[in-house]
Amino acid sequence: MSPQAEQNPLLVLENPLPFDRVEPRFVEPALDQLIAEARRAVDAIASSEAPPTYENTLLALESATDRLERAHLLCEHTESAATSPEFRAVYNVAQPKVSQFWSE
């Protein structure tokens, strides 16, 4: 894991969720990285030639998008409950990217 990933609480989600450590500077890079990871995983599932099963489709999709979903929910909660102009600005940049991913 890179030093940057270790410092970004959105990339190393733990329980309890680190609400107090989420800063505006972490939002866009983390969500961009998690979208890219999820997209690669979803593409691999979609291109699999194995007969579809619950495990290799639905469960695999859930697993492929879990980190993105958790990080985005953490950002969404922070934006609604403890926002600042800086946080709102980065959230508003990242939100359309996340929406586009889910729409695809």
**Model's pTM, two decimal places?**
0.87
As a whole number of Å, the CA-based R_g of the chain is 15
The whole-number average pLDDT for the span 75-82 is 91
Beta strands in the chain (DSSP E): none
Q: How many CA atoms lie within 13 A of 59 on its CB side?
A: 5
State yes or no: pLDDT of 17 exceeds 90: no
pLDDT in tens, 19-55: 888 999 999 999 999 999 999 999 999 999 999 999 9
The whole-number average pLDDT for the span 78-96 is 93
- What torsion, rounded to 10 degrees, do the Cα atoms 16, 37, 42, 53 define? -50
| Percentage, residues of the chain above pLDDT 70 | 94
Beta carbons within 8 Å of 74's beta carbon, 6+ residues apart: 10, 13, 17, 18, 19, 22
The whole-number average pLDDT for the span 6-20 is 84
> 13: pLDDT confidence band, cut at 50, 70 and 90?
confident
pLDDT of residue 6: 54
